[in-house]
Structure 1
C-alpha cells in the first residue's frame, strides 16, 4: 500500500449529502476483484449519459478537477452497502483524501485499508473547504497527516483528529498484510521452535 504523508493537490467540491456506495461505484462494476481499472467508472451515473458521453456539469468532468486528489463532500459520505470497490474506485481515479462532516463506518474503515485518508470535520469547516475547492485548479490544498493539518489555498490552517494506529498504518503504507509481515521474524522464530518441540506436526 502506498504511504500517505503529505498531499498537496486540487480539491474537487462535491456538495451532496448521503452519497452512497452505489453512487460511488454502481453494482454492475462489482464483478472484478482487481483494485485497478475502476477509476473510469467512479460516480458513473453522474459522470456519463446513457450513450457514455461525459456530462459536462459534473465536477470531475470539468477541466479544473480532472486531476483532483482531494474530494470535499457532504454529510454521511459512503453510506449504503459495504462494497470495498467504492474506495478502490476513488483511489484508482487518483483521489487520496476525502473530507466530509461524517462517513459511514464501513466505508470509513475501508478507506484506511486502501491508502485513502478520510477526514471528518465540523460542517462549518467543511463549508470553508468547499468554498476553497470551488476556486478551481489554482486553489491547491495541503493535507499533512503527520501534523494532522489541512492548509487552504489562502494559507488558513485547520486541524483534524485521526486514530493513532490508523495514522501509523497510513504513514508507513501498511495494510493488513503489511502489518502481518512486520511480525515475520517472530512468526519464523515461532515456527522453528514449534517444529523442534513437535516434529510430528
Structure 2
C-alpha cells in the first residue's frame, strides 16, 4: 500500500454519531470478489437523499471526512475502508472509532485521526461555513491544522510505523522473509512447510 505521511486537501462534514459499517458499505455489496467498485456505493442508502453531503457539489473532491463519535461501529468489514478510500477519502477524523474499524483502516492505508469532540465540532463548523477550507494532517508529526484549528493527535506507534512506511500485514511479515526461510529449512521434513517465494 502507499505510504501515508502528509495529507492536504479539504473536508467533508458528516456530523452524525454511531455511523455503522452497514451505512458506510451496505451488506448487499459484500458479495463481490473484486476489491474495486466500492467508492460508488459508499453511503449508498444515505446518498438516495439529495441533501446528503456527498451529493453537494461544493464537497466534491473533499478527501478528509469529519464525522461524529463512534464512527465505524457494527460488523467488521474491510469493504467499509475500501469504499471510503475508493471514493477519495485519505483520512477520517472523529472523536472516537470502533476498534475493529480502526484496525481495518490501518491495514488498508486509511488514516483515522481521533480528536476531542470540541475540536471535531470546530472542524465541522469550518467546513460547513467554507467547503474549500484547507486541512493538513501530518502523520509523522501527529498534527492537524485547518485554519484556526491546530491539534495534536495520538496514534498507536505500530500503526503509525505501518502507515508511514506503506506496510500492510503481508509486507510486515515479508520483512522477515530470510528468518522465515531459515526456520522452515530447520523443520523436520515430516512437518508442514511453506514454499519459498519465487
Q: 1:157 aligns with which of 150, 160, 165?
A: 150
Q: How does 1:71-150 map to 2 (within 5 A)?
A: 71-150=65-144
Q: How does 1:1-201 map to 2 (within 5 A)?
A: 1-48=1-48, 55-152=49-146, 154=147, 156-192=149-185, 194=186, 198=188
- Give the distance between the partners of 2:164 and 2:129, measured in 1 at CA: 29
What do residues 100-122 of structure 1 show as CA deviations (whole Å, max 9, x unaligned)?
A: 11111111111101101111111
How many Å apart are 1:15 and its aligned residue?
1.0
| Kept after mapping to 1: 8 A contact 2:123/2:149 | no
- Give the distance between the partners of 2:75 and 2:126, measured in 1 at CA: 31
What do residues 151-190 of structure 1 show as CA deviations (whole Å, max 9, x unaligned)?
A: 10x2542100000000000001111101011111222233
What do residues 38-96 of structure 1 show as CA deviations (whole Å, max 9, x unaligned)?
A: 00001001112xxxxxx431111211212111000001111111122111111111111
Say which is worse superposed, 9-18 or 32-41, in terms of deviation. Answer: 32-41
3-state SS of paired residue (1:162):
coil
| Deviation >6 Å, runs of 4+ | none
How many Å apart are 1:191 and its aligned residue?
3.4
| Kept after mapping to 1: 8 A contact 2:122/2:149 | no
The CA RMSD measured in Å over matched residues stands at 1.6
Give the length in aligned residue pairs. Answer: 191
- Give the distance between the partners of 2:156 and 2:35, measured in 1 at CA: 25
How many Å apart are 1:199 and its aligned residue?
5.7
- Give the distance between the partners of 1:46 and 1:23, measured in 2 at CA: 8
TM-score normalised by structure 1 residue count: 0.89
What do residues 16-45 of structure 1 show as CA deviations (whole Å, max 9, x unaligned)?
A: 111111110111101013322100001001
Gaps in structure 2 of 5+ consecutive residues: 192-198
User: What is residue 194 of structure 2 aligned with on the other side?
Assistant: none
